[in-house]
Structure 1
């Protein structure tokens, strides 16, 4: 099972739910002939290196310390989330995100403790790919990047932007490399509890399963978790307007 460095734990619930219904969507995957070998490469790297390292990490590092590490990276990510909420025309959410950063960076001891969530400041999940979707940019082809895993042409822009942001935040090269390595361990360690989902899927095409789960989850995120049908049901007006955050059809 390959590991995407940007895959949050919430997506794993969706992967499990899709286990019985994921089907190939070749129209979204014109580069499948290239993507599949990269997927196999990523899977091999994961099984040989990332998974054993993450298992050692969870075995050696106490749970409270791992939780603190996860909170630290979540706090850093709230800065970028706030920027994207602002770009999506959601200033209140952006202010909330940056309020989380202020509270968790101070009262929460450099972000190690998520005090903001206890104060009912909601944790959001936004990135540049979702922002571009709100602006009407289509997915583009599905991509599997070496080491990084699933993305699309549109979503890959977030990798570039986030990398530039981290360079500005952590200018020292060696420190940044160490932080990046710890972040990868943190993400992969969270996936250990659901590694069995793919292995228990039987004759399922693992590549297609992961692809479809990723694309469906990204469509849901770009629509803020709503489908056009539910958006219409929630609209109190007699002639509901389409949800502005519904992603363009690739």
Structure 2
């Protein structure tokens, strides 16, 4: 797992270095995406990896495992993710969200068979997804330019810088047994991709420019996440990039 993490970090670092080098010479019509040519190249690389590896694995996963089993896997992985969401809710001083997420974890862990059953949602305890990028945004850190990360996909400069913290905060990475960590990492990746099979196919089939569609959807979602569903009516990337 450590060797894999080092390789991923190296790829991420190289990709970020290339993007930073490109920003001085690359121009884009979209203020949010000044590194668009480089981002498109990385998007195409990621799409190729997805086509030959991730999508076939996700299709096999859906074909082999019954829907009930896949739901249990998603619930289990979501319960692990709730731990880091709770930590970030606390960092954002969101008392109610922190308490409710703590309740979700305990209900699903002890009543929901370790998180396989999402009993908390059935009880009306809201699920919240928080990460360190959202925490930085909550405290006023601007998103910066749009970035496509090698292997990991859409991001912003702020979220990319927060990504290593999110990786470190993932409860899976604290497990002592390396095979278990590796297994959970792969399972989470394949399960996530399986949940996007129809959505990704629909985007590619209906959009004239899937890259732009994914970029705009991601930026809107992140703005919505940081403002807890109540984003400002407009957001000027030119103005944001001029702030310290």
Question: Same fold judged by TM-score > 0.5?
Answer: yes
User: Do residues 75 (structure 1) and 79 (structure 2) align?
Assistant: yes
Gaps of 5+ in 1: 1-23, 230-247
User: Do residues 194 (structure 1) and 199 (structure 2) align?
Assistant: yes
Q: TM-score, normalised by structure 1?
A: 0.78
Which segment is superposed worse, 207-216 or 163-172? 163-172
Deviation at 1:37, TM superposition (A): 0.9
What is the root-mean-square deviation of aligned Cα atoms in Å? 1.9
Q: 1:234 — aligned with what? A: none
Greater relative contact order structure (CA < 8 Å, 6+ sep): 1
Give 1 or 2: higher helix fraction. 2
Counterparts of 1:43 and 1:224 in 2: how far apart (Å)?
30
Counterparts of 1:66 and 1:160 in 2: how far apart (Å)?
28
Counterparts of 1:171 and 1:33 in 2: how far apart (Å)?
41
Q: TM-score, normalised by structure 2?
A: 0.80
Gaps of 5+ in 2: 1-27, 234-238
- 1:180-224 per-residue CA deviation (whole Å, 9 max, x = no partner) reads 10001110000112233223325x222111111111111111111
- The answer to whether the 8 Å contact 1:141/1:153 transfers is yes
- The answer to whether the 8 Å contact 1:25/1:212 transfers is no
Q: 1:174 — aligned with what? A: 179
- Equivalent pairs, count: 209
Deviation at 1:25, TM superposition (A): 6.1
User: Do residues 100 (structure 1) and 104 (structure 2) align?
Assistant: yes
- Out of 196, 208, 213, which is 2:212 matched to? 208
Counterparts of 1:33 and 1:228 in 2: how far apart (Å)?
29
- Name segments (4+ residues, structure 1) moved above 3 Å: none
